[in-house]
Each structure stands twice: as C-alpha cells, then as structure tokens.
C-alpha cells in the first residue's frame, strides 16, 4: 500500500469516537426473524449457529456462547476446576475483568509485569511467581497482539498448569499461523459494543476438550444437567446468551474478514501519518511470529514529550477526538492493592499510553486528522 506524504492536519473539526459498531449485513434480517418467531431469549436457532460458526473461525471443536466476556472468563475458570484458595498467574496490565473472574472463584490472582514491546505478560517473570497453590496461567492478548505462547505453554507443561487465553481484544489475531482462542486449554472472547465484532453484550468460550465444554455448558445454564431437565448437580449461573444477541453475532461473524482487514488498514494509516514523530511516541509493533488484530491502536508517549498524558487526552477531546488511557495495572486497584509492589513496565505503559480511535467506520481522512492533532500536541 502506497501513501502520499503526511499532510498538514485539517482545521475543520471532526467528531471521532474511540470505537463505533457498524451493522452492514444480515443483522436486521436475523433479528427480525427472532422477533417474528418470538424466540428472543436463550433458546433459538441462532445460538447454535453462532457457536458453530465461531468454533470454525477459531479452529476448535467447541464454542459456548455467554452473556458477556466476563462471564466467559468465569466459565473458563470453572471449566478448569479452579477452587477457592487456588492461585492463577495474571498480567497486572489488563482490564479488571481478568482479575475479577479469578476472584469470583474464591481464588487469588497473582500478578506479573509486562514486557515492553507487546505490552503482554512477560514469560521470563512467570516462574518466580509460581507456588504450590498455582493452578493456571491466564494470558491476555492485550489490545490485539498475541502473547508469546510457546514459552508460556512450556512453563505450564513443566508445572502442570492450565492455560486460559483472554482474547477479548484479539478477534482473529494469529500466533505462528494459528488463530488465538485455540492455543491454550480454553479461550474466551468478548463481543461488547466496542469490540471488532459485537453482539452488544456477549461472550464466547472456545474449547478443545469435550468434557470441559460440557462442564462449561452446565455452569452456564444454572448448573442444570444437560441430559436431565431441572436436575442441578452443581451451583451454576445464568450466563446464557440470548437468541437476539446470537443473531447479531452470526451476522457480524459473516463479515469478520472485512472488519479485521479494516482494523489493519487503520493501523497502517496511523503508522504512516505518525511516522514524523516516531522519536516522540512509540508505535505498536507486530512481532514477526504473529498477526496483530489491532483492536485499538495504542501509542506510548516517550520521555521527550513533556506533556502530561491525561492533559494531552483532554486536548484531543477539545478537537473532537475520543481516546482512552492504557488500563491501570491491577496491583494499584483497591481490591488488589499491593502496597510494596513495583511492576515498572506496566506502570510506565499505563501512565504514558493512549489508545486512539480504531474501528471500521474510520476513513483515512479521519486518521490523518487524529494523527495531525497528536503530532501538533506532542511537538509543541
């Protein structure tokens, strides 16, 4: 793809949201079928079709739909038989749902710092955090870049730990040619309104082991035994996806290649238009062994930029550009606060990171507008 030289930014104000869903296919048709049939709750043909389609997309035998991505994480941990008092290795730099799902099981999230290039869990720091109580590793493919799975899976095998992939932000990302969601024991996805494809709220668990899949389905539906109606051998949860959500999801899945391709195109536009200030900000990288999903295009302000990150975001908002800070590390959150802890990479990424608008509705002119104002603010 060839580009013209980076232009001077436009002074004509635009309103550019961080994300915005688009419904360009069969969404209305499928939802109308739900309404016409009256199958609008957690029974209906679109749930099975969406599960089967997403399993094929992730190249796994089983997929279990859930009402949101956090529920999917909780179900994945229950499927791996996590117990109260157990410990799970978790990156400190993640969205809070990753840690919360571990806590829902009565277990303890044990935090590990990030490596700076991909912002993901640093495999070199995992083994120092393993104790006799450790049962698994919860990997996050942060902002769409896959974690370095070979090292993580090797550690898990040595210590007999399960591995769960939190791929909420990484629809379609690939690690050494294999799509995420099928690399560990279980994968989880979110279909919140800001994700690459959306059901409004919704999630999915991807599984290879049929016994785990059956256990996850049981926990999803109040704990009811699948072959014995209204018999509940365990305390379960109402984490079911509705037929309407699944109808939206199936229609979005039919166009996922288009959505994924546009996210990568947006990333290529940003890389081009921000190249003049490469010394002032660190752009997201794509390691040679992966294919980045670019859920959000996240940049890090280098020390050469004296402006406070939050002030820069407020300045961008003044010209209509919505941005987001990189997540706060879990170890500074009140429920998980570690008073003497220091995770230097995660802390710096969190303090200096900005996620820029990244969605299928963006045009090249939109990206040039965002880049132009970011360049202006970083260079002043």
In a domain, 100, yes or no: yes
pLDDT at position 4 over 80: no
pLDDT at 216 (0 to 100)? 98
Can you state the angle between helices 45-57 and 27-37, rounded to 10 degrees? 150
In 3D space, the residue among 325, 263, 249 whose CA is nearest the CA of residue 293 turns out to be: 263
Q: What is the pLDDT of residues 271-295, one digit of tens each?
A: 999 999 999 999 999 999 999 999 9
From CA 70, how far away is CA 67, in angstroms rounded?
9
Position 9 in a domain: no
Q: 253, 273, 294 — which closes off a domain?
A: 253
| Residue 213 to residue 236: CA distance in whole angstroms | 14
Residue 2 confidence class, pLDDT cut points 50, 70, 90: very low
14, part of any domain = no
pLDDT, mean of residues 92-119: 98
Which residue among 253, 283, 302 closes a domain? 253
pLDDT in the model for residue 10: 60
Strand boundaries in the chain, DSSP class E: 62-66, 87-91, 108-112, 134-140, 162-166, 174-175, 178-179, 186-190, 203-207, 281-282, 290-291, 297-301, 324-325, 353-356
CA atoms within 13 A on the CB side of 376: 15
Q: What per-residue confidence (pLDDT) applies to 227?
A: 86
**pLDDT digit string, tens, across residues 36-52:** 999 999 999 999 999 99
Assess whether 190 and 166 both reside in one domain. yes
CATH number, domain with residue 353: 3.90.1150.10
Query: What pLDDT, on the 0 to 100 scale, is given for residue 226?
Result: 85
State whether 230 and 323 are in the same domain. no
> Averaged over 150-170, what is the pLDDT?
98
Q: Tell me, yes or no, whether 134 lies in a domain.
A: yes
Query: Does one domain contain both 159 and 91?
Result: yes
Does residue 323 sit in the same domain as residue 246? no
Rounded distance between C-alpha atoms, residue 308 and residue 306, angstroms: 6
What pLDDT, on a 0 to 100 scale, did the predictor assign at position 105?
Answer: 98
Percent of the chain with pLDDT over 90: 94
The span from the CA of 84 to the CA of 103, in Å, is 9
The boundaries of the domain holding residue 264 are 257-379
Average pLDDT over residues 150-169: 98
What pLDDT is recorded for position 275?
96
Q: Are residues 325 and 356 both part of a single domain?
A: yes
Q: Are residues 205 and 316 in the same domain?
A: no
Last residue of a domain, one of 223, 253, 283: 253
Round the average pLDDT of the chain to a whole number and report it.
Answer: 96
Query: Per-residue pLDDT for 99 more than 60?
Result: yes
**In a shared domain, residues 80 and 191:** yes
Residue 48's Cα: distance from chain center in Å? 23
Do residues 219 and 261 share a domain?
no
Element housing 128 (H / E): none
- Domain match, 142 and 227 both: yes
Indicate whether 6 belongs to any domain: no
143 within some domain: yes
Longest pairwise C-alpha distance within the chain? 68
Q: What are the pLDDT digits (tens) for 315-351?
A: 999 999 999 999 999 999 999 999 999 999 999 999 9
pLDDT band at residue 11 under the 50/70/90 scheme: low
Question: Does 191 share its domain with 267?
Answer: no
Distance of alpha carbon 93 from alpha carbon 140, whole angstroms? 9
> Quick one: average pLDDT of 117-128?
98
Would the pLDDT of 9 be above 80? Answer: no
Q: Token pair for residue 287?
A: 């390691």
In the predicted model, is pLDDT for residue 7 greater than 60?
A: no
- 142 and 231 fall within a common domain: yes
Q: How many CA atoms lie within 13 A of 36 on its CB side?
A: 7
How many independent structural domains does the chain possess? 2
Q: Tell whether 240 is covered by a domain.
A: yes
How far, CA to CA in Å, does 346 sit from each of 166, 167, 225, 304? 18, 19, 43, 19
Using CB atoms within 10 Å of the CB of residue 302, give its burial: 0 to 12 exposed, 13 to 18 middle, 19+ buried. Answer: middle
Same domain, 195 and 249: yes
Distances in Å between the Cα of 314 and the Cα atoms of 149, 154, 324, 357, 374 are 37, 44, 10, 14, 12
The band of 3, judged by pLDDT with boundaries at 50, 70 and 90, is very low
pLDDT bin (cut points 50, 70, 90) of residue 8 is: low
Whether residue 153 is contained in a domain is answered as: yes
CATH number of residue 179's parent domain: 3.40.640.10
């Amino acid at each position: 793809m060839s580009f013209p030289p980076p232009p001077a930014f436009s002074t004509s104000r635009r309103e550019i949201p961080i994300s915005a869903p688009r419904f360009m296919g069969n969404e209305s048709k499928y939802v109308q079928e739900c309404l016409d049939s009256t199958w609008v709750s957690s029974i209906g043909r679109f749930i099975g079709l969406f599960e089967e389609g997403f399993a094929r997309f992730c190249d796994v035998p089983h997929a279990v739909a859930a009402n949101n991505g956090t529920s999917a994480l909780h179900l994945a941990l229950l499927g791996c038989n996590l117990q109260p008092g157990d410990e799970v290795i978790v990156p400190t730099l993640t969205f809070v749902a990753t840690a919360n799902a571990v806590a829902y099981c009565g277990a303890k999230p044990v935090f590990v710092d990030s490596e700076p290039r991909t912002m993901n869990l640093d495999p070199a720091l995992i083994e120092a955090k393993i104790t006799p109580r450790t049962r698994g590793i919860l990997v996050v493919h942060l902002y769409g870049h896959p974690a370095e799975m070979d090292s993580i899976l090797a550690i898990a095998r040595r210590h007999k730990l399960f591995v769960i992939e939190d791929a909420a932000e990484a629809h379609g990302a690939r690690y050494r040619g294999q799509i995420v969601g099928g690399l560990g024991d279980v994968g989880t996805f979110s279909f919140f309104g800001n994700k690459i494809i959306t059901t409004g709220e919704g999630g999915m668990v991807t599984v290879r082991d049929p016994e785990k899949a059956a256990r996850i389905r049981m926990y999803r539906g109040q704990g009811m035994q699948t072959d014995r109606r209204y018999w509940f051998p365990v305390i379960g949860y109402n984490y079911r996806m509705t037929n309407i959500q699944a109808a939206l999801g199936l229609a979005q899945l039919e166009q996922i290649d288009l959505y994924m391709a546009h996210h990568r195109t947006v990333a290529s536009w940003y890389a081009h238009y921000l190249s003049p200030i490469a010394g002032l900000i660190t752009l997201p990288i794509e390691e040679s062994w992966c294919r980045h999903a670019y859920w959000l295009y996240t940049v890090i302000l280098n020390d050469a930029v004296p402006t406070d990150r939050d002030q820069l975001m407020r300045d961008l908002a003044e010209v209509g550009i919505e941005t987001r800070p990189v997540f706060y590390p879990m170890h500074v959150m009140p429920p998980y606060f570690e008073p003497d802890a220091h995770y230097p990479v995660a802390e710096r990424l969190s303090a200096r990171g900005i996620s820029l608008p990244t969605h299928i509705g963006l045009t090249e002119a939109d990206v040039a507008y965002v880049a132009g104002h970011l360049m202006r603010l970083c260079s002043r």
